[in-house]
Structure 1
Amino acid sequence: MSTITEDRSRQAESPFADPEFRETLRGLPPSAKLVAKVLDDTPPLSQGQLAEESLLPDRTVRYALTRLEEASLVDSRYSFRDARKQVYFLVV
């Protein structure tokens, strides 16, 4: 029973529940939508981790992240584990 409650509270926190977020995402390419969904499931992730999780090529992930950042749907920060890498997360 607690799993159902956790799932519901997680869905409420998801930016995908926001109609404005969904409308902005609707105009983006499929790769950006996939990357956004992966970030919704397991944030924050590096570009390499996103490529592994989404099964997209690195170049496609870079393009998707650029488009998501331009639309102000994704932001980044330096990783706490490795300051040379940036990790990406959805803007709620």
Structure 2
Amino acid sequence: MSTTEAIERDADPSSEDRWAAVRDMPPSAKLVAKVLDYEDTLTQSQIAEESLLPPRTVRYALSRLEEEGAVDSRFSFSDARKRLYTLNV
């Protein structure tokens, strides 16, 4: 995207901000969303490893992100005890 296109997109009030659902969330939720943005699909333990956040904090962040519809989760086919999380924004 060129600089001109970026400026026009920002100036256009009808363009939807991709990160609007995440903007007012706690910093841990923003970090988890950014990790998922880079890594695509991860388990909760993989997110904790990548973000260096405690598992409990990752659980809380994922629950907040799921409430807002910013993250989708599904069961892992290889291990049904685990869930896979994907960014939805």
- Using structure 1 for the length normalisation, give the TM-score: 0.75
Aligned runs of 1:1-92 on 2, under 5 Å? 19-92=16-89
Aligned 8 A contact 1:21 1:73 in 2: no
Backbone CA RMSD of aligned residues: 1.4
Identity over aligned pairs, percent:
63
1:83 to partner: Cα distance: 1.7
State the distance in 1 between where 2:73 and 2:37 align. Answer: 14
Unaligned runs of 5+ in 1: 1-17
Query: SS in structure 1 opposite 2:59?
Result: helix
State the distance in 2 between where 1:83 and 1:20 align. Answer: 34
* Matched residue type, 1:23: A
State the distance in 2 between where 1:20 and 1:86 align. Answer: 28
How many residue pairs end up in the alignment? 75
Unaligned runs of 5+ in 2: 1-14
- Using structure 2 for the length normalisation, give the TM-score: 0.77
